[in-house]
Amino acid sequence: MAKTFALHKTFVNVNMDTLEEPFPLRMFLTGPGGTGKTHVIKALMAVMKGFNSAHALRFLAPTGSAAALNDGMTIHKAFGLSICDRASKHSMQTVDGKEYFGSSLSDLSRKHLETNFKDIEVLVIDEVSLLQQELLPDIEAGCRYGKDIKQWWFGGMMVIFTGDLYQFPPVQGSAVYSRIKERTTIDKRNLSKRIGRMAWNSMTDVVYLHQQKRMERDPEYAAVVRRLRLRQCNLEDVSLFNERVVKTFTYQCGVDMEGVEAIAVVHMNLLRHSINSYKAMSNCSTEHVITCCARDTIGR
Sequence ranges of the domains in the chain: 2-208, 216-242, 247-300
Mean pLDDT, residues 148-161? 91
User: What's residue 252's pLDDT?
Assistant: 76
Residue 32: CA atoms inside 13 Å, Cβ hemisphere, count? 16
- Residues 6+ away with beta carbon under 8 Å from 147: 117, 118, 120, 155, 156, 157
Class of domain 2-208: alpha beta
235 three-state secondary structure = helix
| Phi, psi of 123, deg, nearest 5 | -115, 125
Q: What is the dihedral of CA 89, 91, 94, 100, to 10 degrees?
A: 100
Tell me how far CA of residue 206 lies from CA of 20, 58, 214, 261, in angstroms: 18, 20, 22, 39
Length of the chain: 300
At how many degrees (to 10) do helices 235-242 and 219-229 cross? 110
Structure confidence at residue 4 (pLDDT): 45
**Strands lying side by side in the sheet with 26-30:** 73-74, 57-61, 122-125, 158-163, 26-30, 205-208
Residues 6+ apart with CB under 8 A from 201: none
Nearest alpha-carbon partner for 203 in 23, 24, 26, 6: 26
pLDDT digits (tens, 9 = 90+) for 191-239: 888 899 999 999 999 999 999 889 999 999 999 999 999 999 999 999 8
User: What's the number of CA atoms in the CB half-sphere (13 Å) around residue 102?
Assistant: 13
Which position has the higher pLDDT, 14 or 52? 52
pLDDT per residue over 36-65, tens digit each? 999 999 999 999 999 999 999 999 999 888
> Worst-scoring range by mean pLDDT, 73-77, 109-113, 136-140?
109-113
Q: How far apart are CA 287 and CA 282, in angstroms?
A: 10
Predicted pLDDT at 253:
75
CA angle 198, 201, 203 (to 5 degrees): 130
Distance of CA 269 to the CA centre of its chain: 20
| pLDDT range class, residue 259, cuts 50, 70, 90 | low
What secondary structure does DSSP assign to 119-162, as a single string?
A: T--EEEE--GGG-BTTTHHHHHHHHHHHHT--SSGGGG-EEEEE
| Stated pTM of the model | 0.76
Count how many Cα atoms sit within 13 Å of the Cα of residue 61 in the half-sphere of its side chain: 17
